[in-house]
């Protein structure tokens, strides 16, 4: 019963928090750039406006894929709140990621196609890192279930500092922030064409946007696990991490997928492996 309540809380709170984070993100970014910036609720207004637009698609698969992306993202957040198995949560999240790519590939548009290929490169970069982070959690707690993290006396961060940094890489990619945002930005010098998102429009783009909010909550939830023992420190960790993401986003130029693959596989995996060796030896 408790699980069910938690699931419902997750399903409802997910997009609310995700949308607020998106709004705050834009405010802080504007502040960085000495602009006024939109109201915090802007993300919700945007989605509401998109939902009211005329439905237009290139083909039916996009409708299917947008919906599945949203549903999988919501289910993965629900599982997270239900204290499920980290690997399962991750694979359910991957359902959404795969469908987003497939939907983009179904449209015969160069931007959408290129964006889809780049999104796949992003998945290729972050997936092994995430799995290794979960392995680290398993080594500390003896289980892949989130419920076992809450029983810890000491925050995960103390045992897995390097894995947290590696998770930061994965987080940046997953949130599609600079320098790893190439799958959703492609066109000489403007942002009107959005790579993998190019052909999603109107209400379907709104679905993709809401799904992205769920994903934001999921990755922030993962970060939160690293300081599970104290709510205030957890909040501080989350705020600090996200602030750093925004800073990186605004100070880094977009890079190529080759740069990303090398960086993340060498540095991200390298840090993960070093940290894992401590845990195995310890």
Partner 1 sequence: MSNLLFLLILLPAVAAAVCYFVRSSAVRTLTVLATGAVLTAASLALLGQETSVPLTVGSVLGIPSDFLIAVLDFALLGVIFMYGVKHKSLLIQGFTLAQAVLLAWFELFMVKSAEVPAFAGDQISVIMVLVVSIIGSLICIFAIPYMKEHEEHLHLKKSRQPQFFFFMLLFLGAMNGLVLANNILWLYFFFEVTTLCSFMLIGHDRTEIAIKNSVRALWMNSLGGLAFVVGMMLVYSKVGTLDISAILAGGPQGALMVTGVGFLCLAGFTKAAQVPFQSWLLGAMVAPTPVSALLHSSTMVKAGVYVVLRFAPAFEGTLLSDGVAVCGAFTFLACAALCIGQSNGKKILAYSTVSNLGLIICCAGLNTPLAITAAVLLILFHAISKSLLFLCVGAIEQAIGSRDIEDMRGLYAKFPRTATITIIGILTMLLPPFGVLMGKWMALEAAAANIYVIIMLAMGSALTMVYWARWGGLLMATREAEAPREKQAGLISLPLMTLCLGAVVLSLASPWVYNSMLAPMFNAPPFAVSFGSLDAATGSFAVVPLFLALGLGAIYAVKAASGFRKVKIVAPYVSGSNVGEDGTYIGPMNGPVPFAAGNMYLGEIFAEGRLTPIFNALAVALIVLMLGGAL
Task: Tell me the chain's radius of gyration from C-alpha atoms.
Answer: 18
As a whole number of Å, the end-to-end CA separation of the chain is: 38
Dist CA 10 CA 19 (whole Å) = 14
Segment lying near partner 1 (by CB under 8 A), choices 27-35, 37-45, 143-151, 238-246? 143-151
- Kindly report the three-state secondary structure assignment for every residue of 257-280: HHHHHHHHHHHHHHHHHHHHHHHH
Single out the residue of 34, 54, 232, 282 in contact with partner 1 (rule: CB under 8 A). 54
**Nearest to partner 1 of 21, 104 (CB atom):** 104
203/210 Cα distance (integer angstroms): 11
Any contact of residue 171 with partner 1 (CB under 8 A)?
no
CB of 265 to partner 1, least distance (A): 8
Q: Which is nearer to partner 1, 131 or 255 (CB)?
A: 131
129 membership: H or E segment, kind and range: helix 110-141
- Asked if 218 and 76 count as a contact pair (C-beta separation under 8 A), the reply is yes
CB of 231 to partner 1, least distance (A): 25
The one segment of 15-23, 137-145, 216-224, 246-254 that binds partner 1 by CB under 8 A: 137-145
- 189 is a contact residue toward partner 1 (CB under 8 A): no
Given 21, 78, 167, 175, the residue binding partner 1 (CB under 8 A): 78
Q: Does 84 bind partner 1 (CB under 8 A)?
A: yes
Q: How far is the CB of 29 from partner 1 (least distance, A)?
A: 26
Instruction: Say whether residue 139 binds partner 1 (CB under 8 A).
Output: yes
- The 8-class DSSP code of residue 186 comes to -
Taking Cα atoms as reference points, which of 171, 98, 93, 158 lies closest to residue 129?
A: 171
Q: Given the structure tokens 């999921």, which residue do they identify?
A: 218
CA atoms within 13 A on the CB side of 269: 12
Residue 226 vs 257, nearer CB to partner 1: 257
The least distance separating partner 1 from the CB of residue 174, rounded to whole angstroms, comes to 13
134: left (phi over 0), alpha (psi -120 to 50) or beta: alpha
- Residue choice 6, 28, 131, 152 for contact with partner 1 (CB under 8 A): 131
Residues in contact with 201: Cβ distance below 8 Å, sequence separation at least 6, in sequence order: 53, 56, 57
Q: Does 123 bind partner 1 (CB under 8 A)?
A: yes
**Residue 254 structure tokens:** 């977009």
Query: Does residue number 243 form part of the binding site for partner 1 (CB under 8 A)?
Result: no
Q: List contacts with partner 1 (CB under 8 A).
A: 54-61, 63-65, 67-68, 71-72, 75, 78-79, 84-88, 91-92, 94-95, 98, 101-114, 116-117, 120-121, 123-125, 127-128, 131-132, 135, 138-139, 142-145, 187, 193, 198-199, 261, 269, 273, 276-277, 280
């Amino acid at each position: 019963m408790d699980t069910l309540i938690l699931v419902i809380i997750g399903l409802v709170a997910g997009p609310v928090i995700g949308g607020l984070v998106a709004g705050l993100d834009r405010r802080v970014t504007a502040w960085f750039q000495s602009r006024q910036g939109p109201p915090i609720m802007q993300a919700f207004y945007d989605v509401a406006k998109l939902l009211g637009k005329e439905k237009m698609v290139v083909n039916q698969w996009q409708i299917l894929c947008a919906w599945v992306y949203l549903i999988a993202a919501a289910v993965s957040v629900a599982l997270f709140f239900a204290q499920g198995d980290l690997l399962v949560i991750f694979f359910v999240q991957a359902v959404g990621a795969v469908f987003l790519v497939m939907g983009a590939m179904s449209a015969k548009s160069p931007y959408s196609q290129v964006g889809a290929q780049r999104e796949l490169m992003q998945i290729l970069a972050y997936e092994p890192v995430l799995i290794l982070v979960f392995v680290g959690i398993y080594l500390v707690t003896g289980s892949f279930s989130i419920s076992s993290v809450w029983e810890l006396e000491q925050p995960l961060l103390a045992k897995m500092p390097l894995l947290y940094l590696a998770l930061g890489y994965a987080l940046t990619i997953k949130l599609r922030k600079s320098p790893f945002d190439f799958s959703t930005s492609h066109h000489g010098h403007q942002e009107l064409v959005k790579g993998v998102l190019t052909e999603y429009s109107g209400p379907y783009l709104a679905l993709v946007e809401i799904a992205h909010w769920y994903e934001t909550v999921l990755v922030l939830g993962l970060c939160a696990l690293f300081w599970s023992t104290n709510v205030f420190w957890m909040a501080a960790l989350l705020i600090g991490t996200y602030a750093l993401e925004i800073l990186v986003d605004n100070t880094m130029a977009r890079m190529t997928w080759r740069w990303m693959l090398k960086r993340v596989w060498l540095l991200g995996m390298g840090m993960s492996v070093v940290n894992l060796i401590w845990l195995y030896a310890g």
